[in-house]
Amino acid sequence: MQTPATITREQCYEQLLLGKTVKSTGWLDTIRVEALARAQALNFPTERHDDWRLTDLSPLFQHAFHPVDSYASVTLEDIDKLLMPDSIRLVFVDGCYTAPLSDLKSAGSGVTVSSLVERVGDTQVEANFAHHAPFEQDAFAALNTRFFEDGAYVHVAGEINTPIHILNIATKREVPSAIYPRCLIVMEANSRATVIEDYAGLGDSPNLSNAVTEVVLKDHAQLYHVRIQREEKSAFNIGHCSVDAAKGSVYTSTALAFGARLSRHELHVTLQGEGAEATLNGLALIGGRQIADTHTQIDHAMPRCKSHQLHKCIADGSAHAIFGGKIMVREGASGTDSEQSSRNLLLSGKAHIDTQPQLEIFNDDVSCKHGATIGQIDADALFFLKSRGLTEERARSLLTHAFAAEIIDKIPVTALVEALGRTILDERMKASV
Amino acid sequence: MINKDSRVVLEVKNLKAEVAGVEILKGVNLTVRAGEVHAIMGVNGSGKSTFSKVLAGHPDYTVTGGSAMFEGKGLFTLEPEARARAGLFLAFQYPVEIPGVSNSALLRLAYNTLQTERGLEELDPLEFDDLVQEKIKVVEMDPSFLSRSVNEGFSGGEKKRNEILQMAILEPKLAILDETDSGLDIDALRIVANGVNSLLSPDNAVVMVTHYQRLLNYIVPDYVHVMSAGRIVRTGGKELALELEARGYDWLKEAA
C-alpha cells in the first residue's frame, strides 16, 4: 500500500524521526542519543546545499517511511540470483542480520566478518564506529546512526582472497519502510581484502534504504571495495561512505548504480597518510524516470598521495544522472598526483546528465588533471554494427554495454563481472524493445 | 571469372547521391554478375568511396536519383542491417574501434543474426568457436585477437584482416572492399588478398575500390572501372589498371 497523496517535505522528515528505538548500551547508546539530537536539529538538504542543488528529492516526499517492525521470511532460493559463488556472505533483510542466509565458513584466521551488533564490545568497533562518517551536519547519516538495527562488521588482519559479499535486501513491504544498512570495515596494517557491498530488492516497493559505511585503512592496507546499487525501480537508496586511508594504503572502489527511483551515493575518501592511493571507478546506468546522483570527494591531506577517478553516467528515457566530484589538495600535500575523468553517454533526447568536476588546490607542487565529456552513441560505430547485420536496437544496446563494461570489467571478481554484464545486456535489450 | 549467363548480383543505374547538400555521384552505372571481380579506380574525390558507402547505406549520404537492385531487391528501400542480411558486405576503409565489445562476441552476434534470417539454428559459443577457428586461418590471424575488443589497439593491417575475417564469417553475396589496400605493408596486403581470393566463388562477387594498381596484382579483376567526377568514365579489363599505373588519371579526366 502506498501513501496516496504527496506529503510535505517536513511531514516526510518527521515520519523518519518517528523511527523505531533500537536498544543499545554504553558507548553506542551515547552515540545514538547524540545522533537523534542532530537528526532532530537537521532536515532534508535543500537546493541551498551546494552538493544537493541538482538533486530533486521530491519523489521521496510522496511517501511516509515507516520503521521496520516485522521481517519477511526470505529463503536462499529467493535470493539465488544475487548470490556470488565462492564468497563469504553476510545477508541483511530490511536491515536485520539474517544468519541462515549468511555464509561465514571460509573466513580464515585474522578475519572477522559478522553482525556489527554482535561485536559492539570489540575495541576496534568502539574506536571506529561513527568516527569516520560524521553525522553532525548530515541528516541522513544522523538518522542512520540513530536508527540502524544492525550492520556488517569486517575486520581484516592479514590477507584474504575470498571476496566478502555484504548483501542488503529490501523486501516488498506493506507500507513504505525506512531501512538503515550500516557497515564498518577495518583493515589492519598490511592487510588485503575485497568487499562487495550490495543493495538489492525482492519485489518492488518504495522503501528507503539509508546506508552509512565507514572504511578504515591502516598503514599499507589494501582494499578493493565494490558497491552495487541494484534496487527495485520504485525504491530509494541514499548512501554515504567515508574512507580514511593511512600511510601507503591503497583503496580501490567500483561503485555501480543501476536501480532505484532515486539514488544518491556519497563517497568521501581522505588520504590522510603519506603515499596513500585511491582509485575510484563509478558507473550510473539508468533510464525511465530514474535519478542517480553520485558525489565523491577525495581529500589529499598528506604529501605524495595519488588518486585516479573515472566516473561514467549513462542516461536513457527521461532519467537524470548527476556527478559531482571534488578533489582537494591541502596545504603541504606536495607531490600530489591526481587524475579525474567524467565520461557520459546520453541515450535519449529527454535524458539529462549533470557533471561537476571540482578542484580545490592549496599547493603548488601538484599534478592534477581533470576532464568531462558528454556524448551520444558513436554514429560510425553504430553504422559499422548495422552493416554487419545488427538491428539498430541491438547495435545500440551493444555499444551501451561496451561503454559500461569499461567500469564493470575493473572488478577483480570474474563471476561478478560476468553476472553483471549479462544482467545489463538483458536489461538494455528489454529497454530497447 | 566472367560468365555472361550468371545471375546479376548488383545492377546500379544512373545513381546520384549527395553528402551535406553536395552532389558527389552524378549518374553511376554498374552491373555485377555472380563470379565477377570488379575494381573501381580513381583519384581522391572522384566519388569511389562515396559509391561504396551509398551502397552499404551510410546515413551521411542521400540518394537523389537512380536505382540499385541487389539480388533482385531495391537496395535503397533497405536499412543497412537489411542490406547486410541480404548478403551485402562493406569492408571499411577505416574500421572503427569498439572498446568493450570482444571480437568473438561481435562475430557470433553477426553470424547468428544471419542464421536466424536464413531460418537456420544459431550457434552456441562452443560451436561458433569451432567455426571461427577455421575461418581465422583465412586471414592468418592469431586467435588471441578474438578475445580482444573489436579493432582496439590493432595495427592498420590487423584491422583490415579483421574486416576480411568478418567477410569470411558472413559469406556475403557481394563484398565491397573500400580501399582495403590502404595502409597495408606488402605482407599484410598479400594475406588480405589471399583471404579474399579464397572466399571467391562462382556464386558471389567482389567490388574493390582502390586508388592503386598494387592490390590488383593480388586480386585479379575481371573488370576495371575508372571513376571521375562522380561517374564511371571508362571500363576495361585488368590491363586498364596497368595503363593507369603508367599514364596516371589525367588523360581520362580530359577524355571525360
* Closest partner CB to A398 (pick from B92, B95, B101): B101
Parallel, antiparallel, or unpaired for β A164-171 and A88-93?
Answer: parallel
B-chain residues within 8 Å CB-CB of A409?
A: 100
Confidence grade of residue A300 (pLDDT, cut at 50, 70, 90): very high
Q: DSSP states of chain B as a string?
A: ---TTSPEEEEEEEEEEEETTEEEEEEEEEEEETT-EEEEE--TTSSHHHHHHHHHT-TTEEEEEEEEEETTEEGGGS-HHHHHHHTEEEE-SSPPPEEEEEHHHHHHHHHHHHHHHTT-PPPPHHHHHHHHHHHGGGGT--GGGGSSEETTT--HHHHHHHHHHHHHHH--SEEEEESTTTT--HHHHHHHHHHHHHH--TT-EEEEEES-SGGGGTS--SEEEEEETTEEEEEE-HHHHHHHHHH-SHHHHHH-
Average pLDDT in chain B: 93
Predicted local confidence at residue A195, as pLDDT? 98
Q: Do B98 and A409 touch (CB under 8 A)?
A: no
Minimum mean pLDDT range among A20-29, A197-206, B62-71: A20-29
Minimum mean pLDDT range among A5-9, A133-137, A239-243, B12-16: A5-9
For A334-356, how does the pLDDT look when each residue is reduced to its tens digit (9 = 90+)? Answer: 999 999 999 999 999 999 999 99
CB atoms within 10 A of CB B72: 10
For A375-395, how does the pLDDT look when each residue is reduced to its tens digit (9 = 90+)? Answer: 999 999 999 999 999 999 999
Closest residue, chain A, to B52 (C-alpha): A387
The cell 580464515 sits on which residue? Answer: A108
Predicted local confidence at residue A414, as pLDDT? 92
Q: Do A380 and B59 touch (CB under 8 A)?
A: no
For residues A251-263, average pLDDT: 97
A275 vs A300: CA distance, rounded Å: 10
- The answer to whether the CB of A120 falls within 8 A of the CB of A152 is no
Q: Among A272, A274, A325, which residue's Cα sits nearest to residue A301?
A: A272
pLDDT at B256 over 80: no
- Say what the pTM is: 0.88
For A214-225, how does the pLDDT look when each residue is reduced to its tens digit (9 = 90+)? Answer: 999 999 999 999
Q: Do A388 and B59 touch (CB under 8 A)?
A: no
CATH superfamily of B8-255: P-loop containing nucleotide triphosphate hydrolases (3.40.50.300)
For A159-182, how does the pLDDT look when each residue is reduced to its tens digit (9 = 90+)? Answer: 999 999 999 999 999 999 999 999
Q: Which three cell numbers stand for residue B111?
A: 553470424
Predicted local confidence at residue B163, as pLDDT? 96
pLDDT at A152 over 50: yes
Predicted local confidence at residue B32, as pLDDT? 98
For A54-94, how does the pLDDT look when each residue is reduced to its tens digit (9 = 90+)? Answer: 999 999 999 999 999 888 899 999 999 999 999 999 999 99
Q: Do A391 and B114 touch (CB under 8 A)?
A: no
ipTM of the complex: 0.95
Predicted local confidence at residue A429, as pLDDT? 60
Question: How near does any CA of chain A get to the CA of B45, in Å?
Answer: 20
Average pLDDT in chain A: 94
Looking at residue A103, the DSSP 8-state letter turns out to be B
For B98-145, how does the pLDDT look when each residue is reduced to its tens digit (9 = 90+)? Answer: 988 999 999 999 999 999 988 999 999 999 999 999 999 999 999 999
Predicted local confidence at residue A431, as pLDDT? 60
CA atoms within 13 A on the CB side of A45: 19
Predicted local confidence at residue A1, as pLDDT? 46
Predicted local confidence at residue B249, as pLDDT? 86
Predicted local confidence at residue A433, as pLDDT? 42
B190 vs B192: CA distance, rounded Å: 6
Closest residue, chain A, to B90 (C-alpha): A387
* Closest partner CB to B96 (pick from A381, A401, A404): A381
